[in-house]
Copies of this chain bind each other. A is one copy, B any other.
Amino acid sequence: MLKRKTVTKSLECKVRITAITDTMQVLSGKWKIHILGTLLQGGKMRFMDLLREIDGIAAKMLSKELQDLEMNQLVTRTVVDTKPITVEYEVTEYGKTMEPIIDEIANWGVFYRNRLHGKTD
């Protein structure tokens, strides 16, 4: 019996599936993309800055997500010896390679809103 040609079972496609899974794991959760997006625009930012800038996030979540991002080397954490100590977070060069993804996601979201109540109505 002839085998049906599989589409995604080729090595190429398995690599693609793994790649997508990897990326989505690194960006998992409700907040990582927002934290990264905020840090990409804001440069060096302190914990309390991020907590205030990112609407709706709780300290626990911010803390946990920053740890994840740090473990994956997407952001750096630097303790600054100020009066009350502050901690600065910054996107690494490696983390900046996420920018195209975040941009595409943001672009699509704008496009989506436009389509919903935009031109076609």
**Chain A residues within CB distance 8 Å of chain B:** 6-9, 13, 15-24, 26, 33-34, 37-38, 41-42, 45, 52-55, 94, 97-98, 100-102, 104-113, 115
Contact = CB atoms under 8 A, between A and B. Distances in A.
Nearest to A72: B112
A73 to B, nearest CB: 9
Contacts of A22: 109, 112-113
26 contacts: A6-B52, A7-B38, A7-B53, A8-B37, A8-B38, A8-B53, A16-B106, A19-B105, A19-B106, A19-B107, A20-B37, A20-B106, A21-B109, A22-B109, A23-B105, A23-B106, A23-B112, A26-B112, A94-B115, A98-B108, A100-B104, A100-B107, A100-B108, A101-B104, A101-B105, A101-B108
B42 A16 contact: no
B102 A20 contact: yes
Given A8-B38, A19-B112, A104-B104, 14 more contacts: A6-B52, A7-B38, A8-B41, A19-B105, A19-B108, A19-B109, A20-B34, A20-B109, A21-B109, A22-B109, A23-B106, A101-B101, A101-B105, A101-B108
